[in-house]
Amino acid sequence: MSDTPNEDELTGGAPTPAGRKSVERIGDRKLKPSTMMMGHGYDPMLSEGALKPPIFLTSTFVFPNAAAGKRHFEGVTGKRPGGSEGLVYSRFNGPNQEILEDRLGVWEEAEDALAFSSGMSAIATLFLSMVKPGDTIVHSGPLYAATETLIGRILGKFGVNWLDFPAGATREEIDAVLRQAAGNGNVALIYLESPANPTNALVDIQAVAASRDAIFTGETKPPIAIDNTFLGPLWLQPLKHGADIVVYSLTKYAGGHSDLVAGGVLGTKEHINTIRSMRNTIGTICDPNTAWMLMRSLETLELRMSRAGENAIKVCEFLRTHPNVERVGYLGFLESTPGMERQADIYRRHCTGAGSTFSLIVKGGEKEAFAFLDALKIAKLAVSLGGTETLASHPAAMTHLSVPEERKQALGITDNLVRISIGVEDADDLIADFAQALDSF
């Protein structure tokens, strides 16, 4: 008997949604995501043998016959669930986007995935597909400022209501908010962000799921969606803890080079079908070139995130001892921080790593925070996170400037808080940079 795996062993016998076979297993061994990023969802023989997928720069695709065209449009219009069974038009799908979506789903073992033109277009499309006037969104707080603006100021104009609970809420506190929301009408969506931006506070996904399941039944049960940008997919996989939908700004760690803007949504086929219908209508899909760049980036995602995480541990160990630092909001310190026992418990149950983005609370206020930021030489003063370079910004004056002052204070977004995203530079060089910047005031 030959030791060479047969085709079914190599592919797992599972064609991708676009009909391309991929290597998912070798015998009984299921391949790891970092391995599958090198070829999953792509057949070189469909593209002249090209090792890497070409960029398919076309607006429309030729149907083999009229019946196929009808079948495809039944999918993209939502008349038949599941989307198109072939390529139709680049507002709906394309080879680069489909391969990317196949690979995005691998990391969290999601049933399906969608790619978007930005993180906010992903979030907006999710909300538009799930809510109607009179519905309520229950969310954790704080959220990324643009997400809060979308919920409170934009959807609010169309009669959508909202209630929130703090990121670190207990089961009892979550129960109280969900019961209040249920008493006010239809709860269409529970939306979480963990860790919260920019405080790094963790949400107990398991407690939210248990509360939802205890209070809602049948068709009234709202899906749980979560923004997993800060830790996913390497350090947190929310679908394993009770979430139904996971949202990403793929601009961050997935893209990882600060050279593209994109978003992603993963989840069950049922929910993704609903979101896909809205994306097909409003055209928030990412472009082929961005999808191609993301496929390239996913090949090194594990390497980049691992190195950044290792750097963050070293940098944060230094920062916590500096006399001009009041506190470091780093998840790796939860176990040893008095008063953070509940957050430490959530971290143990949910996370496999502390990430590389954290909050630094300097001694003083805006003046001292600005002096620190202005003195940095290696770290770049810029918003965003998850890139190969180290970035630092001032949320209260930048990303969360639009948040009302009283809400910023309630959520801990203070004038002396600096958000830092550690990159893949040499850790000792970064420490030297932070040291001289902290010594400048």
Give residue-wise pLDDT tens across range 201-244. 999 999 999 999 999 998 899 999 999 999 999 999 999 999 99
Is 248's pLDDT higher than 90?
yes
| Sequence-ordered strand ranges (E) for 208-283 | 224-227, 245-249, 263-267
Least confident of 8-22, 179-193, 265-279, 299-313: 8-22
- Confidence (pLDDT) at 19: 47
Confidence label for 20 from pLDDT (cuts 50, 70 and 90): low
Specify the range with the lowest mean pLDDT, choosing from 191-200, 316-325, 400-409: 400-409
The answer to whether the CB of 248 falls within 8 A of the CB of 229 is yes
Closest to 207 in 3D by CA, of 375, 401, 346: 346
Measuring CA to CA, which residue among 263, 267, 302 is closest to residue 189?
267
Residue 303's Cβ-side half-sphere holds a number of Cα atoms within 13 Å equal to 11
21, amino acid identity? K
pLDDT of residue 21: 58
User: Across the chain, what does the average pLDDT equal?
Assistant: 93
Give yes or no for a contact between 312 and 434, defined as CB atoms under 8 angstroms apart: no
The C-alpha atoms of residue 180 and residue 431 are separated, in whole angstroms, by 47
3-class SS of residue 31:
coil
The pLDDT-based confidence of 5 (bands split at 50, 70, 90) is very low
Percent of the chain with pLDDT over 90: 86
Structure-token pair, residue 254: 């997935």
Report the CATH number of the 113-297 domain: 3.40.640.10
- Please say if the pLDDT value at position 399 is more than 80: yes
pLDDT at 14: 36
Would you state the pLDDT for residue 10?
A: 39
Mean pLDDT (whole number) for 91-102: 96
Instruction: Work out the percent of the chain whose per-residue pLDDT is above 70.
Output: 95
Residue 13: per-residue pLDDT: 34
Place of tokens 């055209």: 283
Q: Are 384 and 252 in contact (CB under 8 A)?
A: yes
CA gap 349, 139 in Å, rounded = 21
The alpha carbon torsion through 404, 406, 407, 412 (nearest 10 deg) reads 120
pLDDT at 12 over 60: no
- Judge whether residue 2 has pLDDT over 60: no
**Rounded Cα gap, residues 167 and 151, in angstroms:** 17
Angle, CA 12 vertex, CA 7 and CA 14 arms, to 5°: 105
Radius of gyration of the chain (CA): 22
- pLDDT given at position 81: 82
What pLDDT score does 381 carry?
Answer: 97
Question: Does domain 301-438 match CATH 3.90.1150.10?
Answer: yes
The count of other CB atoms within 10 Å of the CB of residue 414 is 17
Q: Which two tokens stand for residue 154?
A: 């934009």
Q: Tell me the two tokens of residue 18.
A: 């676009």
In this structure, the strands spanning 112-116 and 136-141 are: unpaired
Tokens (6 digits) for 191: 């939306």
Q: What's the mean pLDDT in 120-125?
A: 98
State the residue for tokens 């916590």: 320
Residue ranges, CATH 3.90.1150.10, the chain: 301-438
* Mean pLDDT in residue range 299-306: 98
pLDDT at 193 over 80: yes
Does residue 142 have a pLDDT over 80?
yes
Q: What pTM was computed for the model?
A: 0.92
For 129-169, give the DSSP string. HH--TT-EEEEEES--HHHHHIIIIIGGGGT-EEEEEETT-
Average pLDDT value for residue range 30-45: 94
Report the pLDDT value the prediction gives residue 29, as an integer from 0 to 100.
Answer: 95
Query: Looking at the chain, which residues constitute the CATH 3.40.640.10 domain(s)?
Result: 113-297
Average pLDDT over residues 355-371: 97
The residue ranking higher by pLDDT, 117 or 17, is 117
Grade residue 80 by pLDDT with cuts at 50, 70 and 90: confident
Q: How far apart are CA 65 and CA 60, in angstroms?
A: 15
Q: Which of 168, 239, 177, 236 is nearest to 202 (CA)?
A: 168
pLDDT of residue 121 exceeding 90, the answer is yes
